[in-house]
Chain A
Amino acid sequence: MSVGKLFGKGIVSDNPVFRLLLGLCPVLATSTSVFNAIGMGVSVIFVLLCSNILVSSIRHFIPQKIRIPIYICIIATFVTIVDMVLAGFMPELHKSLGMFIKLIVVNCIILGRAEAFASRNNPFHAIIDALGMGIGFTLAMIAVATFREILGNGTWFGMPVLGTSFEPVLLMILSPGAFFTIGLITGFLNWLDHRKRIPHAVLNG
């Protein structure tokens, strides 16, 4: 598989959030604003990248039977690093992401990539895969957060966009809004997919 195709796979065709429905908890919980979404996304990219590189470089030395505990140990180490760095340098972001930073350790995307990809490929491909999947995850988070922040708060990345006459829809910031947004986005992507498969003649005629 070419490098570009491998990179694009995580962003579009195998997007971890909208296509594979993996790692949904942080997407729903921390997408109340675009700033939080980017913070979470970058943390996930860091952990995914480091664990993929490490797993892929030591893949010939990991005994088959205890590979999962080893992966978990590697992932938990990097999660602890992220947790401490955020607590030290960005205490406000750390506070608003809360428990979900620590919960990256059970995020199925990271363990899934270690098991399904990094353990079978060389470090270079593992880096490309981690970047593709990580950026795909971050873009999905930003997409959800964009809808929720604009409708629920009238702002985007902290900047007011809808003017003062707009009454914020508080519901979008609360939990139901998260479920509605992600449901409608996945539905819309499915609709695009179905449309692509129908020949144009059928649509026009």
Chain B
Amino acid sequence: MDIQNLLVISVGAILISNFVLSRFLGICPYIGVSRQMDSAVGMGLAVIFVMAIASAVTWVIYTYFLMPTHANILFILFGKEGQSPTDLTFLQTITFIFVIASLVQFVEMVIQKTSPGLHRSLGIYLPLITTNCAVLGVSFLNIDSGYNFMESLVNGMASGIGFTLALVLMAGLREKLETARVPKAMQGAPIAFVMAGLMALAFMGFSGLSLG
């Protein structure tokens, strides 16, 4: 396993192509849940958790159930001698969204049973994550970039950390902004967008980092 490679992937996902600020994924929670620090941290942790698991599971599903290879489990079970494996990759979208939706439900049930404390703090954010495009986005991204299993897992976790970083920074700024005098028309979402723009500008500075 190449540790350096994994490090490059994580720095890339956290800072250089930050999920929120440069890839534009997960904007809805970024604007919606960033009013208070507590909820931002809770949402962020839930996203890191779900993104890491979803990356791993969708990678396995794609590689062993949808790709037309001889390692395809459906081919091993149902394929006949001399037949070539069927290409099922067109089912990618529909499979991934179902896997993620049921995964989120499952994770919620497990957390509820095993640690009620964690469930109290993360519980309300978990159902919201199903329609968070960042989770589905990272699954597509892993496949499109041709990552292997470990790289996908690391990319999922690092992307979640990048999302949390942007969300927590934003929540800190918005708490300060409560006391600032903002023109009436710009209050709420508009000023949040402008601040996000400034933050994106700052994060563009990281694109000068040369990796590898």
Contacts and interface: CB of A to CB of B under 8 A. Distances in A.
Contacts of A108: 28, 131
A194 B193 contact: no
Nearest to B198: A176
Given A79-B93, A106-B133, A176-B204, A25 B24 contact: yes
Contact of A28 (B24, B92, B93): B24
B194 A178 contact: no
Given A106-B136, A108-B131, A187 B190 contact: yes
Interface residues of B, number: 44
Interface stretch (B42-50, B54-62, B137-145, B153-161): B137-145
B28 A25 contact: yes
Contacts of A25: 24-28, 133
Given A29-B24, A175-B21, A99 B189 contact: no
A51 to B, nearest CB: 13
Interface string B21-49: 11111111001100000000000000000
A135 interface: no
A190 B24 CA distance: 24
B90 to A, nearest CB: 6
A84 B28 CA distance: 27
Nearest to A76: B94
A179 interface: yes
Contact of A183 (B23, B141, B194): B194
Contact of A175 (B92, B98, B204): B204
Given A177-B197, A186-B190, A103 B185 contact: no
Contacts of A188: 185
Contacts of B201: 171, 176
Contact of B185 (A24, A72, A107, A194): A194
A42 to B, nearest CB: 18
A99 B93 contact: no
Contact of B194 (A171, A174, A184): A184
Contact of A182 (B137, B141, B144, B193): B193
Q: What are the 5 tightest A-B residue pairs by CB atom distance, in nearest-first order?
A: A183-B193, A179-B197, A187-B190, A191-B185, A29-B24
Interface of B: 21-28, 31-32, 90-94, 97-98, 101, 130-133, 136-137, 140-141, 144, 183-187, 189-194, 196-198, 200-201, 204
Given A25-B27, A184-B190, 17 more contacts: A24-B28, A69-B98, A72-B98, A73-B94, A77-B94, A83-B93, A99-B140, A102-B136, A103-B25, A106-B132, A106-B133, A176-B201, A179-B194, A180-B193, A183-B186, A190-B187, A190-B190
21 contacts: A28-B27, A29-B23, A68-B101, A69-B98, A72-B101, A76-B97, A102-B93, A102-B136, A103-B136, A105-B93, A108-B28, A176-B200, A179-B193, A179-B200, A183-B190, A183-B193, A186-B189, A187-B183, A190-B186, A190-B187, A194-B184
